[in-house]
């Protein structure tokens, strides 16, 4: 769980940095969607019980909880 959160935070920081540097509107929109997904994953990881297996990627976590 700690490794998952650490990876997610690093990916989020990288995406936010890319967003700040992007000048193309479509690229900024893509990065914004990515960042929002990461924020959602950050929320979802906190809702898991201690015994719930942690997915390998934040994408899997968000997909699993789309329902």
What's the CA gap between 29 and 31, in Å, rounded?
5
pLDDT in tens, 15-38: 999 999 999 999 999 999 999 999
Q: What is the pTM of this model?
A: 0.89
* pLDDT of 67 strictly over 70: no
CA distance 65 to 67: 5
Query: Per residue in 1-19, pLDDT tens?
Result: 999 999 999 999 999 999 9
Predicted confidence at residue 42, as pLDDT, reads 96
């Amino acid at each position: 769980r700690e490794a998952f959160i650490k990876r997610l935070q690093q990916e989020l920081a990288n995406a936010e940095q890319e967003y700040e540097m992007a000048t193309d509107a479509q690229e900024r929109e893509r990065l914004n969607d990515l960042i929002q997904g990461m924020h959602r994953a950050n929320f979802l990881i906190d809702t898991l019980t201690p015994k719930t297996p942690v997915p390998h990627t934040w994408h899997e976590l968000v997909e699993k909880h789309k329902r």
